[in-house]
Amino acid sequence: MTAVNTTRFLRQACFLFALVFSGFSLMSLAQADDRSDFFRAVEMDRPDLLENLLKKGVDPNLTEPYKGNTGLIVAMQEGSMGVFNLLVNTKGIDLDKRATNGNTAIMLAAWKNNAPAVKTLLEKGAKVNQSGWTALHYAASVGNKEIVKMLLAQKAVVDSPAPNKTTPLMMAARSGHTDTAKLLLDHGADVRLRNEWDMSAVDFARDGDFTSLEKGLQSRLDKAEAMAAMKN
């Protein structure tokens, strides 16, 4: 190959590389714009704008760059029920997609006391059980008996352990939710369990200065330990 041909080849290669790189850059920018528009529509609760994006082919399961929240999760955070109702009925939606911290849409719905959203997600087939924190932990922590009942009716594991072994009963006790704690106990929650900090539900109630709840849990604990001793 002559020097002239070599130079021409290198110029053509550089030109083609520039075209390809430019194409990828434009594509990336377009995707970034779609993502921004998607989450803006979710936060503003604009199902009309979101529907236009979905019709363009935007993925309904897009996630935020850092936290990994899905549109459904953000909709629950912001109380964007119009967008929520659109997304849960969108073909291909992943109801159980987890954010970076492990949260799912039904967990956020429980945390936000959004019983209608929890009901809809359950009807659509959202999972109630998973490793780590669960919707039942969150519902117990805010003391929402209605949501706790819905989750238990769908076979939520009553003593599901968080990564640190904290159970829903401990979360209810931690926040002083006596009625919720009783509901969990009536569904078989084990008052004897302890987490990685060696804390039981009784300890959580005591630390929160929820004296009446502490006494009730202690009474349950004494009975449970007495029954266990009799079996041995």
pLDDT digits (tens, 9 = 90+) for 70-118: 999 999 999 999 999 999 999 999 999 999 999 999 999 999 999 999 9
Structural domains in the chain, CATH included, are 1-127 (1.25.40.20), 140-232 (1.25.40.20)
pTM of the model: 0.85
Buried b (16+ CB within 10 A) or exposed e, 92-131: ebebbbbbeeebbbbbbbbbbebbebbebbbeeebebebe
Whether the pLDDT of residue 12 is over 80: the answer is: no
pLDDT digits (tens, 9 = 90+) for 217-232: 999 999 999 988 888 7
In whole angstroms, what is the distance from residue 223 CA to residue 217 CA? Answer: 10
Q: Which residue has the higher pLDDT, 33 or 181?
A: 181
